[in-house]
Structure 1
Amino acid sequence: MNKIPIIILTGPTAVGKTDLSIRLAKRLNAEIISADSMQIYKHMDIGSAKVTNEEMDGVKHHMIDEVDPDFAFSVSEFQRRADIYIEKINKEGKNVLVTGGTGLYLNSLIYKMDFAKSSADNELRDKLSIELKEKGIDHMHNKLKELDEEAANRIHKNNTKRVIRALEVCLSGKKMNDFSSDLKFNEKYEPIIIVLNRDREHLYERINKRVDIMLENGLIDEVKDLLDRGYTKDMISMQGIGYKEIIKYLNGEYSYDEAIEIIKRDSRRYAKRQITWFKRYDLAKWFDLDKYEDIKLLEEDIILHVENLL
């Protein structure tokens, strides 16, 4: 079976993926699949820095506005839907360009991650259910934090089912975001991985500026609208950076300035974690955007790299 090449353009938040992805898609006759865990949600445009129809400039995008905010979207759901889009794009004779910074989404395409096979160990599940009844969800969530901090940060403690599922995965010997040595490449795809980066201080400036722009563009009104639609702070979508802080501001838990500073701080921390994650991709070719005065030159270098591998 011939592997389908998938071009992956990734990098930390606010690095400058969107503009470049449109340019590359046009040059490479590609359609874009978004690998961003916030842009999949409808009505969440400003806080997710969602690509606009104008910015798309005629390039077809998938996995944007895919589900409503009350849908508990998972990595396995991303993988399932992305597989369908990739096959369709490939059959139409076009290239596939995956762009976004959600590491687990990228892993589900790069590596062989069979979610169906990670079936529950009934005995372990029963033990965890008893422990939950006896000690409560706070205890269980703290237990998960000790075993897999990233999973605990990602899964809200009120989502009992997912907390227990994550504990099952951990206690059966595998972390949910496993980069272990036995991780095998996905046999269906041939990934061409491009990571964009910038000088850290410059990246952090861009992140801070992006948050200011989100506020100017109406982030607070967007969050109010989501709450008016009946979406609540406990939903996975509403746990995103920018949304949960504004909810706390609206509820009087943060002052305006506190909320903004926390959004900026947590966005910078997220970018740092993303860079650490992408460094684990041995196949990746890194491009430093600060070394290019003209984006066209960067575009040419990336095109050259990709065409040599296609």
Structure 2
Amino acid sequence: MSSRPSAPQVITVVGPTAAGKSGLGVEIARRLGGEVINADSMQLYRGMDIGTAKLTPKEQQGVPHHLLDVWDVTRTASVAEYQRLARAEIDRLLAAGRTPVLVGGSGLYVRAAVDTLEFPGTDPRVRTRLEAELDQVGSGPLHRRLALADPRAAEAILPGNGRRIVRALEVIEITGRPFTAHLPGPDEEREHYRTVHLGVRVGRPELDERIAVRVDRMWEAGLVEEVRGLEAAGLRQGRTASRALGYQQLLAALAGESTPEQAREETVRATKRFARRQETWFRRDRRVHWLDGSVTAPATLGEQAWDLLERTVTS
């Protein structure tokens, strides 16, 4: 890579799981003298290390990482709370003349940090009623209801993500408007910060293979033991953390509902489905500059990113 592009601003590194975002984020931050801010909703949880593919200190290469290990696994995630935390880190880094590099595949979290998004409040009575219904009938019927009320929201939210489905239905009920009406469309210029968005794209067959290999390595690295330990810390009671890929499947296995091998196979399948939804989300945002993360790419991710930043980052 050549000389440093000018002017610190926010850079995001987005894309599907296993595409290579974390390594690229480290390289960009190291070259720019910046720091990484986590934008993966599950890496916010303490102790969820193996199953969320958190970088080890060695893999971080001395680059400071922020918003990792923030919440206990019993805490329900809040995008509004993440927005507050992320913007505090971004503002601190910009004031110090350092480049914030936001890295992660949680699309709503990324947009909450860098775009002008406002989150409606909550109504405890509505929330309690919807959560009781979720417990009684499961997420499927609620997701179908959401699809009728707000097709865009249903497309973006996994059918098994009961917590987010309940939140979307709650917003619709208390505001009388679709959940997505509170989010800017992908073409709207509503940036809270001047931002360059980098996306990492990998062909479907190669990405599917990477996902399968990654899950195998998680099992070898001790994911089963990690989940057992977190179960003792209250993971099963956590409305958000207990739904994480790998953790949800292993909790079912530990409860005798399947075997660890079946949990591994279902984790691979579920992660592939999740990666497709991530791609759909980020493809809608025309601001994203896509980089080729495949093994056959003519240039490394870092070289591609640096070339693009030299052309797009202005003072």
Q: TM-score, normalised by structure 1?
A: 0.85
Counterpart for residue 24 of structure 2: 20
Residue 196 and residue 170 in structure 1: after superposition, are their counterparts in 2 closer, same or farther (change >3 A)? farther
Counterpart for residue 241 of structure 1: 245
Distance 1:41 1:132 in 2: 22
Q: Which amino acid aligns with 1:156?
A: G
The reply on whether 1:7 has 2:11 as its aligned counterpart is yes
Q: Deviations over 1:51-96 (max 9, x none)?
A: 1111111101111111111121211111111110000001111111
Q: Deviations over 1:225-280 (max 9, x none)?
A: 01112332552111111000001111111123321111000100111111111111
Instruction: Map 1:13-92 to 2 at 5 A.
Output: 13-92=17-96
The answer on whether the counterparts of 1:4 and 1:190 sit within 8 Å (CA) in structure 2 is no
The reply on whether 1:308 has 2:311 as its aligned counterpart is yes
Counterpart for residue 265 of structure 1: 269
The answer on whether the counterparts of 1:156 and 1:234 sit within 8 Å (CA) in structure 2 is no
The reply on whether 1:250 has 2:254 as its aligned counterpart is yes
The reply on whether 1:213 has 2:217 as its aligned counterpart is yes
Q: Which amino acid aligns with 1:257?
A: E
Q: Deviations over 1:268-295 (max 9, x none)?
A: 0111111111111111111112243663
Q: RMSD across aligned C-alpha pairs, in angstroms?
A: 3.1
Runs (4+) off by over 6 Å: 125-136
The answer on whether the counterparts of 1:8 and 1:191 sit within 8 Å (CA) in structure 2 is yes
Counterpart for residue 143 of structure 1: 145
Task: List runs of 5+ in structure 1 lacking aligned partners.
Answer: none
Secondary structure of the 1:286 match is strand
Counterpart for residue 190 of structure 1: 194
**Equivalent position to 2:226, from 222, 238, 242:** 222
Q: Deviations over 1:7-32 (max 9, x none)?
A: 11111100111222111111111111
Counterpart for residue 289 of structure 1: 293
Distance 1:102 1:178 in 2: 15
Q: Deviations over 1:148-181 (max 9, x none)?
A: 4344746536x99747624436742332784547
Counterpart for residue 162 of structure 2: 156
The answer on whether the counterparts of 1:145 and 1:152 sit within 8 Å (CA) in structure 2 is no
Distance 1:98 1:263 in 2: 26
Greater shift after overlay, 3-12 or 160-169?
160-169
Distance 1:131 1:24 in 2: 43
Distance 2:292 2:125 in 1: 50
Residue 227 and residue 82 in structure 1: after superposition, are their counterparts in 2 closer, same or farther (change >3 A)? same
Residue 44 and residue 181 in structure 1: after superposition, are their counterparts in 2 closer, same or farther (change >3 A)? closer
Residue 177 and residue 259 in structure 1: after superposition, are their counterparts in 2 closer, same or farther (change >3 A)? farther
Instruction: Map 1:91-170 to 2 at 5 A.
Output: 91-115=95-119, 118-119=120-121, 138=137, 143-144=145-146, 146-147=148-149, 148-149=153-154, 150-151=156-157, 153=159, 155-156=161-162, 162=167, 165-168=170-173
Residue 119 and residue 30 in structure 1: after superposition, are their counterparts in 2 closer, same or farther (change >3 A)? same
% of aligned pairs identical? 30
Residue 24 and residue 180 in structure 1: after superposition, are their counterparts in 2 closer, same or farther (change >3 A)? closer
Distance 1:216 1:303 in 2: 35
Residue 164 and residue 277 in structure 1: after superposition, are their counterparts in 2 closer, same or farther (change >3 A)? closer
Secondary structure of the 1:98 match is strand
Q: Number of aligned residue pairs: give it.
A: 299
Q: Which amino acid aligns with 2:34?
A: A
